[in-house]
Amino acid sequence: DSGVTQTPKHLITATGQRVTLRCSPRSGDLSVYWYQQSLDQGLQFLIHYYNGEERAKGNILERFSAQQFPDLHSELNLSSLELGDSALYFCASSPRGIAGSTDTQYFGPGTRLTVL
């Protein structure tokens, strides 16, 4: 158990809908990262938050957004869902994650999203 929690474990929804994925980092970790794993694209970095502030964006679509709250938990919002958004979404956390650091990221169990 990495100490990172994600809810829900599975989510089935229809095209055009909006969903929210939730992540709680390990105790004491300030950084949260979101990743998408699909058969087509492999594992891709989406976005990074550090202590409530957005720090870096990867291959995140404009239909997707995220935030990190004062208690450091994070939510990833996916809207106007398409079939191609079906994937495993991971949250990871690390102690720091600021520039110059290469600290280890610990992954949550993931949320499997199926868009029908």
Partner 1 sequence: AQKITQTQPGMFVQEKEAVTLDCTYDTSDPSYGLFWYKQPSSGEMIFLIYQGSYDQQNATEGRYSLNFQKARKSANLVISASQLGDSAMYFCAMREAVGKHSGGGADGLTFGKGTHLIIQP
Q: Give the closest residue to 28 by CA, choosing from 58, 4, 12, 62.
A: 4
* Residue 97 is a binding residue for partner 1 (CB under 8 A): yes
Cβ of residue 65: shortest distance to partner 1, in angstroms?
Answer: 15
* Residue closer to partner 1, measured from CB, 60 or 75: 60
The residue type found at 37 is: Q
Q: Using an 8 Å Cβ cutoff, are 116 and 14 in contact?
A: yes
Report the distance separating Cα 85 and Cα 31, nearest Å.
24
- The answer to whether residue 100 forms part of the interface with partner 1 (CB under 8 A) is yes
The count of chain residues that interact with partner 1, using the rule CB under 8 A, is 34
Determine which residue in the list 56, 63, 114, 116 makes contact with partner 1, applying CB under 8 A: 56
Can residue 48 be called a binding residue for partner 1 (CB under 8 A)?
yes
